[in-house]
Structure 1
Amino acid sequence: MTAMTHAPDRADFLPRLSSHHLARPRLCGALLESATRVKLVCAPAGSGKTALLTECLLQAPVNCTVCWLPLAGSSLSVGEFCERLAHAMGLTVADETSLLYELARRTSTTWVLIDDYCRYPEPALDAFLDRMLAVSSPALTWWIGTRRRPSCNWPRLLLDDALYECEGAVLALTRDEIAQVLRHLPPAQADSVAGRIFQRSGGWCAGVRMLLMQKCDWSQKTLPQQRMDTLLDYLQHELFSGLSPELAEAWRVLVHLPRFNASLCDHLFGAGDGAQWMRTLQTLGCFIEPWQGSPDWLQVCAPLSRLMRDEPWSAGRSWHRRACQWFAAGQHWKCAFEQALLAEEYEVAVSLLQHFSFEHLFEEQTVVLLLRLYEQRGEELLLGSAQLVGLITAALLFAGRFAQAADCIGQLSRFLPPPSAGQQRQLIARWQAQQGWLLHLQGHMDEAREHFEQALNDLSPQAWTARLLCLSGRTQQALLCGDLELAHSINREALCLARAEGSLLFEALLELDHAQLLEQRGASARAEALLADLCEMLGSSVERPTSLLGRIALRRGRLALSMGQQDRAAGFFQQGLDDCLRSFDKRVLYGFLGQAQLAADQGDYPQAFMRLRDAERLMQQRQIPDTVYRGVLLQVSSEFWLQQGRPELAREALTRVLRHYRGPGARQAPPATLELIPRIECLLILAETRLGQTQQPVLRLQSLLEQARSCRMIVLEAELLLAMSEVASILSDRESARQYSDKGRMLVRQFNLRRLLMKFDDAAAVIGSESLSEQQFSEGGESESSLSLRESQVLGLIAAGSSNQQIADKLFISLHTVKTHVRRIHAKLGVERRTHAVARARMLGLCC
């Protein structure tokens, strides 16, 4: 948004920035640094073109003449344009020839900024602009903001290094830029709110502004549901008012389609006309862009499309029906299926499912669409084919709806007996494969293993997808049992089969199991490289496998977190959270958990517990059984309580949850949390030790340590060694504490488990055993002013001028731990400020 202000030394008015303006130095800096003669900013309405040009204008050199030419998108004749340009530049001549001559002989540094160039094709005006750009003096710089790319000789300018083009995509506000507008909120909350606004708007400047204007509480975790009347009014004036009725109707149809091309438009709007209308809308800058970088497919920009689809559309059913016909004829089955659902043609939608396979479940929105169909026509679906029942069952298992999945699996008995004994064996084997996965996800390991093994014995080579699912289930069970060698063997067998069948999606799914195995062995860098390669391979897929990419992002976030790379971890957790939310994947839980752990590492426990409550709320809203999430939520909560010095809460929760994993009827841990049970036992021992309510805690931890070593679970081994050091220190066994700490730290350094050290130092700060966090335990005196080795290190860095964050980075400890050490230093030295602490310590000879 800009306004105009009078400048007495200029030939015309110059713009000023709105009070709501958000600076974008990344764009402004690039434009100002470019030495090109022509700077083209081409983007749809509401992208902030005028504001960007104004921001650059206000930084023009002192000796530069600035000419501002606002055209408001008007269709002008060449003569009218010449008159306006001459007036803006303060020239007395306004005919074409004289104007070109004046432009060519210009010697003083001059900027001409043309804002909102002609929105509709004007061949004569475009040709004149081309001539001006070609003949103008090097002292003259052209800045052109436009929705439509004028028909000029851009390739020639580009080859002459005379053109810098700023395209629409880069004008979108980033998440960090949106967070700057939310300075009134606490930093963590501002970042979270900015993430939700960015997800809803895609960074489209006008969309961000409209969302901020909505009368809703963005501190809440749910997106606002009210209609955006402002958006409709904006589009009416900025888009529809300049289009013919036919083009406006065509745009309204296209915005409701997932993708389109010339052939589909011809089918919808008439042969010849449809393709031409599509190209016209694209030329006019009507928010049409390539679909996922494809050269053949287009889409209306996704955020605007999502916003528009929330609005009622009375004519929608007939258009969706026609689009369904075209997609089905072209064998674009998922798009046809989605259009059939939107047209409420449920019988057609059911019939299209015969073309789906298990791999379709990983494509964006497939699970959501299947669940929608199940809710609308559940009974009809269960009367269909065995393949259809199996597909719906897989979607329900994926989303965590185990009770409904069990009902679907039970319906497979309707198809018995089949025509032959061989077919019957195959049907039963498929039933066992799905029943095995249901039991596996519910935590019944022995029964699940039996079903997996029987299914693998009977499944034919043609049923390779079911075989791969069984092998993946067996791999996860071996990992949960700590049998990493068996897990590796089964995983390799499954990978060979997936590659032989040419299934990239199954290969990626199995490589996720492989990455989990590598993580257990401490090979975090190898696991990260493997997952990065997977992302690159999956990036070439025509249909984006959203859920699979979401799971990969969550796993990469966990790896980055373990290596102490908080910024990378935050990005991966947010990406995984967004993808899993869109695809209704129950693994979305681990995105919330990752964000909670990041907040706790910074000492922001209110935000950490808020993310845990968000996770629980979502699990309950989606009717996911508490066996999927309750144990890990309580385990992470207990970690936070121990870090806060509240062991009584941790002991109560851990004792309660451990009953589900021990004794008769015990359940296995969820597949994504392999170390859950031993970690719960370790935390319980720590809590009881701090409360003085345990017997032989070191021996109990030693038993867990021996199990971890026998299974070669390196990460768990390091964690247990550091826990044993903490326990020994609490029990005043300083020598044992030193030995366990040395061994644990050796593993931490060898396998780059930086976060374990941060957690260990946090624990030392909480329980008041400063010596816990030192490689050499202090033998100093007990005077009030004596500092531990770690506190001396912190004080030395304070004296050197380091900030708390810089101290955390240099000492490989968390920011929260640094603050705790600073508080202790102040208390021991009897001061309140950092400068006083340094002066006092120097006087006492505690630092130089």
Structure 2
Amino acid sequence: MTPMPDESSHLILPDGDPVLTSRFAVPVLPPTFVHRGRLTQHLQQGLRDGPLVLVNGPAGAGKTFLVADWFTSARPRGSAAWLTLESSDDASGLFWAYTLEALRYHGVELSEHIGSPGLPARVDPSLLARLADELNRREEPVTLVLDEFDRITSPAVAEELHELVRHASPRLRLVLVSRSDPLLPLHRYAAAGQLTEVRAAELAFKVHETSTLLSLHGLPSSDGVVRALNERTHGWAAGLRLWALAALRAPDPESYLKEFEESDNTIADFLTVEVLERQRQETQDLLLRTSLLERIHPDLADALTGRKDAGRLLVDLHRVNAFVTPVGHSWYRQHPLFAEILRARLRARYPGLEAELHSRAAHWLGSTGLVMDALPHAVAAGDWGFAATLLVDDLAIGSLLTGRDTDRLTDLFSRMPPGADGAAPELIRAALALARHDTQRGVTHLRQAESEVRAAGGPAARLSLTYLNVLAGRLLADADRAETAAREADQVRDEDAYLLKGLESAHPEFGALLLSDLGAVLLWAGRLDEAREALQAAAEVESSPSTAGPRHESLNRLALIELLSGRLRRAEQQVGAADSEAERSGLPKTEGTGTGQLALAEVALERDDLSAARRALERAAALEAAQDDPVVSGGLAVLRSRLCLARGDVRGALEALRGVRKAAEAAGGTPAPEWLSDRAVAAAAAARLAAGDPAAAVAAVQEQDAAGPEALVAEAQAQLACGDCESALRALDRLPASAARGPAVAVAVLLARAQAATALGDDAAARRLLVRALTVAAPERQRRPFREAAPWLRRMLRSEPSLAASHDWLPAELRPAPAPGQGPAGEVPPGPVESLSSRECDVLARAAQLMSTEEIAADLFLSVNTVKTHLKNINRKLSVTRRTEAVRRARELGLL
């Protein structure tokens, strides 16, 4: 098969490495390869019978060449792709990134909407669902060969692969080439008749196949020699080939085959004697010294040998099949087993040299900009100072906190000993501690690094120090510290603009993290406009796998700011944009602090969808990071209180508010910000008012000297319940002019004023205020304030039903009875079998406007598949089968 043009080489994996297209190459069969028709026919039949074929056997059993022979000569109709796995593919994100690129490389057309994993270690299940759906739409099956599958030891990858096969069968055929049984439920496949196995017994050479192999090598193949050799090796393909190669060099090949002792026939002995020791001395030296490298570049090899002949020697080694393979772009790789044997021989022959070689490799890789490749070698050399300096001087400190290398770097530097001194090690210790939310330890390390960095640190170290101080400021809820550090960062950038511009371009996560953390602490401090500016800048940083996390979190925090400003629809749109970022970047659903879910829960509550609010609250609370973010934990406490009160649990509502104090204590003991404390005061006042104690409700506000719009509205409502209209109006008059910016805030104020006007007997003013409240609330579908105002509002609407006649979004008990001819008074069509979520209501509203699926997706910042899922759920809940029927039914139910 002719592969597609090599476009994959321009793609970057979630771990930052380029895609190695050499891993998609089908191995070329050697001239001495023995074609075994019985096995290729077995494979072909197995792929017709079921979705899974397992080719399983020990190293050297001929598994790969067998499947390569079938792939190139006998595979069934339809598309087929080949991927050779590596140990790094045990990370879920890398495995699926390479799988998708292998399919595309071999000509399997995949839609762009499938996306690609954004993190090395994880993949969003929705990506796999999209892939399964696309495969199912194909007319012909796709066969995917995964060679060296024994490198996959992750249960998560195995489970994801199993789910893909389960959902994409019969359009996906999977061939696993492995030394061991994969972590798949093979018994299920076998019980269902969907598994074909080619194991060691079947892979073993038959006598006639051994005879063919020896003949292809030009060796004598008498029956006695063939049978003896076949029996001694048990038909093991590599053993036969190794013996054949060794016999070719023997003075009497037939005698060698007869007399070769089994105890000598080990891979280690063969590789040492027949490969390593047959090379010239300079080649042996190169093989030994480069055995500690994952990948070998000729210039790097020269740095380890001290010579200039590596380029020629590597080409020669590959040419003579000496277990050295090119992997593209002038890089080579030794066979892992060969390298392991060589490393053992290196230690025996040159004690103490290994650390020096690691040090040379680290310096060469670091000098060429391959910092992430250099770090393990620096650590292996025990040079922690150099390793830390490499990371800091590359401005990669943010990689310890987000992006593709976080887990690997955290594991690497968590082993750094206390004796590693200097500014760079202290900065890394600070970053690791702050990432664990160990703020006290992190700040201590920052202090230890600060004097040295300010005195003699380079621009990258100084800029790293400023960011870590911003992060410390966020964790300590100290906006002044974070702002001061951010200003210092700007100063450092101005002083060393040329150098830092290139480093920040290579590490866009640095700027995204700094702005995101600055915006977060400003949000906690209640400086919403400044927080919005910082977070918007963070959200606009270049999209990449390393910036996906802070961009996603910034968009969610922007949603919360819109909510606090009283803009429900804008808050919802920002969460939609954050969800789109997560879906596009392949972030898992457990990523983030839960800020977006908190905003959605508040929106749902304002729209009187209590079940949706509870679900969003539970999703946010389930995130581990939510407990470490005072904005979220404090906001969830207020939300829990309001939900308790909505179901009549006054005691639970007051109990839930203790979470606000806990959030403030967790944020370094600083007082809760005004926006949070005011919301908590308003919730406490509402609970006491619901308990029938309006005086206590008034005291709850006044004792705290609360001045936010929610608290003042709560005080006004309590004063009205006390019969003190004048005090209620004075409370509302204390509202700052900016408090009415958002519709949700304005509606609450207008309703409170309307209630006061009613109590004062000014029905005309009350009517005007109510009309304005209804007009402002209608686009937002803000039902909750009207339900909470129901007693006096119901009386007003009963006397003047025309006020609500055009507002069918209001709660049913506030709407006028149906007009004559539209059914008996009070009769309501049967409701949906399950309440529509707020997002489903948004999709339904746009469907009613005759928008296409694509237009709805664009308007709500969703994928087309997500919109289709919402439409299916809407049809199910409304018991209809078509979109037009859903719209008609929704109008009957007052949902539109």
Alignment TM-score, normalising by the size of structure 2: 0.42
